[in-house]
Amino acid sequence: MLYIVGLGLGDEKDITLRGLEAVNKSQKVYIEAYTSLLSFGISQDGISTLEKLYGKPLIVADREMVEEKVDDMLLEARQFDVSFLVVGDPFGATTHSDLVVRAKKLDVQVQVIYNASVMNAVGVCGLQLYRYGETVSLPFFTETWRPDSFYEKIHKNRALGLHTLCLLDIRVKEPSLESLCRGKKQYEPPSFMTIGVAIDQLLEVEQLRGESAYGEDTLCVGFARLGSENQMVVAGSMKQLRTVDFGPPLHCLTIVGKTHPLEEEMLDFYRN
């Protein structure tokens, strides 16, 4: 059996009882470390904290391992129970559908164990989840790469009066362009997009496109470290939020659409 286990958003204690049972039954336990991080990070301290609670050694699965060597893990799951731990929910912000498809093609049994995700945790601010449109991802801009495909999706959501959740880029164990050109991978230090950087990029694209999808005065909600004890939620205009210090990662941002009076009442608690 391959267990795909959601870990939730906070720390090692957010695993469900069913998830913990799966881990205990597994001979090998992998933890993915490329789509998100727990609040304490994938550090030696973080891993040892997880290992202490779960009672099992953990194998960190970076992007390369999952993209290039995942079949090795799946073949193991044909012989014995394997757990693959995912921060948040397995089918939340980043789906693991490809892993399930590959497992089924190899006749590996799969059991998914769900947990909290950023996709539902943003409900804390009072904006109703069924009033959200398509979620977008904001990648880090570079000097030569400034994609703006998210703009049309935000524009469409706003035209329909819907809120837009913006997931902000994280870069973990990314090879530098220079090292790839030399043929020997060297990795850049981890980086996490802040709400301020996200708003700067959003406004840059609006200035270029000029279709009034949003602007400096558009109401937004910034979230930091959702699910942790020190989570931060602030509502305000883009102009206001870009000056707020949200502290350590992870951050995400909601661009507010048309609001219901009850949503407005809840948002008032979080206005800067």
Identify the CATH number of the domain in which residue 209 sits: 3.30.950.10
Residues 111 and 128 in one domain: no
With bands split at pLDDT 50, 70 and 90, how would you rate the model's confidence at 146?
A: very high
pTM of the predicted protein model: 0.89
Which residues contribute to the annotated binding site for S-adenosyl-L-methionine? 9, 89, 92, 117-118, 168, 226, 251
Written as six digits, the tokens of 114 are 């769900």
Q: Is the peptide bond before 129 cis (omega within 30 degrees of 0)?
A: no
**Of 61, 84, 116, which one is at a domain's C-terminal end?**
116
- Note down the domain range covering 57: 2-116
Residues 136 and 13 in one domain: no
The pLDDT tens digits of the residues spanning 170-214 come to 886 555 566 557 666 665 667 889 999 999 999 999 999 999 999
Residues 182 and 87 in one domain: no
Contact assessment for residue 137 and residue 149, using Cβ atoms and an 8 Å cutoff: no
Tell whether the torsion through CA atoms of 18, 21, 26 and 28 is positive or negative: positive
Residues 137 and 97 in one domain: no
Residues 130 and 145 in one domain: yes
Q: Write out the E strands in the chain.
A: 2-6, 28-32, 59-61, 82-86, 110-113, 136-138, 164-168, 170-171, 191-192, 219-224, 232-237, 251-255
Could you tell me which residues are beta bridge partners of residue 233? 223
**Of 57, 90, 116, which one is at a domain's C-terminal end?**
116
Confidence at residue 163, expressed as pLDDT on a 0 to 100 scale: 98
CA angle 156, 200, 129 (to 5 degrees): 40
The pLDDT tens digits of the residues spanning 118-138 come to 999 999 999 999 999 999 999
Residue 9 has pLDDT above 70, yes or no: yes
Residues 130 and 240 in one domain: yes
The pLDDT tens digits of the residues spanning 11-41 come to 888 999 999 999 999 999 998 876 666 555 5
The mean-pLDDT minimum among 78-82, 148-152, 174-178, 268-272 falls in: 174-178
Higher pLDDT, residue 36 or 76:
76
Upper half-sphere CA count for residue 137 (Cβ side, 13 Å): 9
Confidence at residue 43, expressed as pLDDT on a 0 to 100 scale: 61
The mean-pLDDT minimum among 36-45, 59-68, 244-253 falls in: 36-45
232: DSSP letter: E
Residues 104 and 186 in one domain: no
Residues 70 and 173 in one domain: no
Alpha helices per DSSP H over 61-161 = 63-68, 70-79, 97-105, 118-121, 150-159
With bands split at pLDDT 50, 70 and 90, how would you rate the model's confidence at 259?
A: very high
* Average pLDDT value for the chain: 89
Residues 87 and 198 in one domain: no
Query: Mean per-residue pLDDT for 81-98?
Result: 86
Alpha helices per DSSP H over 87-148 = 97-105, 118-121
**Of 116, 147, 178, which one is at a domain's C-terminal end?**
116
As for how many domains the chain has, the answer is 2
Rounded to whole angstroms, the Cα distance separating 264 from 25 reads 47
Which residues contribute to the annotated binding site? 9, 89, 92, 117-118, 168, 226, 251
